[in-house]
Amino acid sequence: MFIRSNVSARLPLCLAALVAALLLTGSPPSAAEGAVTVDMRNFKFDPPTVRIEPGKRVLFVNRDRARHDAVKRGVFDTGILPFGESALVRFSRRGVYPYLCTLHPYYMRGKVIVD
Ligand SMILES: [Cu+2]
């Protein structure tokens, strides 16, 4: 009885951790397959503009020691990414999505074109 309740209590936590790992940060290479990569490097998005088809994904990877994020309000928000962390964002609708790093908004900007 003790073992059963112990296991069932742990399971939801494991699933939550797995989902978070797959969807938000530290994605394994297979999860990012087919995604276009945008590096956050030297306080810039590289490349600053990417063009993708609807349904494709962009993998934002922070290569800087400084923390960054990538945000287009109302569309996507990677959350703050420390050095080495990444976030995968899927774009399902056509459009032009200018985004920025909210920590360095005046000079750290990029654009995703979905068409
Ligand atoms: Cu930044």
Predicted local confidence at residue 20, as pLDDT? 44
Predicted local confidence at residue 33, as pLDDT? 85
Q: Is the dihedral of CA 8, 12, 13, 18 positive or negative?
A: positive
Q: What is the pLDDT of residues 13-44, one digit of tens each?
A: 444 444 444 455 555 556 788 899 999 999 99
Flag residues of the chain having pLDDT under 70.
Answer: 1-30
Q: How far is the CA of 27 from the centre of ligand 1 (A)?
A: 20
Token duo for residue 22: 């797959």
Cβ(107)–Cβ(88) under 8 Å? no
Cβ(110)–Cβ(49) under 8 Å? yes
Q: How far is the CA of 46 from the centre of ligand 1 (A)?
A: 12
Q: How far is the CA of 21 from the centre of ligand 1 (A)?
A: 22
Total structural domains in the chain? Answer: 1
Helices (H), the chain: 2-23
- Domain housing 95: 2-114
Q: Indicate which CATH number applies to the domain containing 98.
A: 2.60.40.420
Q: How far is the CA of 52 from the centre of ligand 1 (A)?
A: 23
CA 32-26-87 angle, to 5 degrees, is: 65
In terms of residues, how long is the chain? 115
Q: How far is the CA of 105 from the centre of ligand 1 (A)?
A: 7
Q: How far is the CA of 65 from the centre of ligand 1 (A)?
A: 10
Predicted local confidence at residue 32, as pLDDT? 80
Predicted local confidence at residue 11, as pLDDT? 41
